[in-house]
Chain A
Amino acid sequence: MSGAPSLYARAQRRTYEILDGEVFDQTSRICEYFIASLVVLNVIAIILESVPQFHEAYAHWFDYFDVFSVVVFSIEYVLRVWSYGARYPEPEKTWQGRRDYIFSPFGLVDFFSTVPFYLQLLFPGADLRVLRMFRLMRIFKLSRYNSAMEDMLEAIKSERDSFSSAIFLLFISCLLFSSLIYIVEGQDQPEVFPSIPAAMHWFMLTIIAGWGNVDPVSFLGVLLVVVTQILAIALAAILTGVVATAYAAQVQGREALYEMEVREVLADGVVSEEEHHHLKHLQAKYGMSDEQVQAIAEQVRMEKEAAKAS
Chain B
Amino acid sequence: MIVGVQQYVMEVLEGSPKHRMSQYVEWLISSVVLINCTAVILDSIPEVHAEHKAFFHELEFWSVMFFTAEYLLRVWSLGRKYLAEGSRWKGRKEYIFSPFGLIDFFATMPHYLHMFFPTLDLRILRVLRLLRILKLSKYNTALQDLFHAVHSERRAFGSAAFLLMIATIVSASLMHFAEGHEQPEHFGSIPHAIYWSVVTITAGYGNVEPVTRAGEAIALLTGFLGVCMAAIMTGIVASAFSNQMSRKKAAFKAQLLKALSDGEVSEAERDSLRRLQQRFRLSDADVQAMIDGAQNK
Contact B170 A240 (CB under 8 A): no
Contact A148 B162 (CB under 8 A): yes
Residues of B within 8 Å of A209, CB to CB, are 204-206, 223
Of A149, A207, A251, the contact of B163 (CB 8 Å cutoff)? A149
Tell whether A139 pairs with B169 under 8 Å between CB atoms, given A51-B191, A129-B177: yes
A137: min CB distance to chain B, Å: 9
- Complex Cα spacing A139 to B204, Å: 24
Contact B235 A243 (CB under 8 A): yes
Contact A51 B189 (CB under 8 A): yes
Nearest residue, chain A, Cβ from B258:
A302
- Complex Cα spacing A148 to B236, Å: 13
Interface of A is mostly: helix
Residues of A within 8 Å of B220, CB to CB, are 201, 204-205, 208
Residues of B within 8 Å of A292, CB to CB, are 152, 247
Residues of A within 8 Å of B155, CB to CB, are 287
Q: Is B202 an interface residue (CB 8 A)?
A: no
Contact B191 A247 (CB under 8 A): no
Of B205, B239, B247, the contact of A244 (CB 8 Å cutoff)? B239
Residues of B within 8 Å of A299, CB to CB, are 250, 254
One of A42-50, A71-79, A112-120, A171-179 contacting the partner:
A42-50
Residues of A within 8 Å of B205, CB to CB, are 205, 208-209
Q: Is B228 an interface residue (CB 8 A)?
A: yes
Tell whether A247 pairs with B152 under 8 Å between CB atoms, given A136-B170, A239-B228, A298-B254: no
Question: Can you name 16 extra interface pairs (CB under 8 A) apart from A209-B223, A240-B234?
Answer: A48-B191, A50-B173, A132-B173, A133-B173, A136-B170, A136-B173, A142-B162, A148-B158, A149-B159, A201-B220, A236-B230, A239-B231, A244-B234, A251-B156, A292-B152, A306-B257
A: which residues have CB within 8 A of B? 43, 46-48, 50-52, 129, 132-133, 136, 139-140, 142-143, 146-149, 151-152, 201, 204-205, 207-211, 213, 235-236, 239-248, 251-252, 287-289, 291-292, 295, 298-299, 302, 306, 309
Residue contacts A-B, CB under 8 angstroms, 17 given: A47-B191, A50-B173, A50-B180, A50-B191, A51-B190, A129-B177, A132-B173, A133-B177, A139-B166, A146-B162, A149-B163, A208-B226, A211-B206, A240-B235, A243-B232, A247-B235, A252-B243
B: which residues have CB within 8 A of A? 148, 151-156, 158-160, 162-163, 166, 169-170, 173-174, 176-177, 180, 188-191, 194, 204-206, 216, 220, 223-224, 226-228, 230-232, 234-236, 238-239, 242-243, 247, 250-251, 254, 257-258, 261
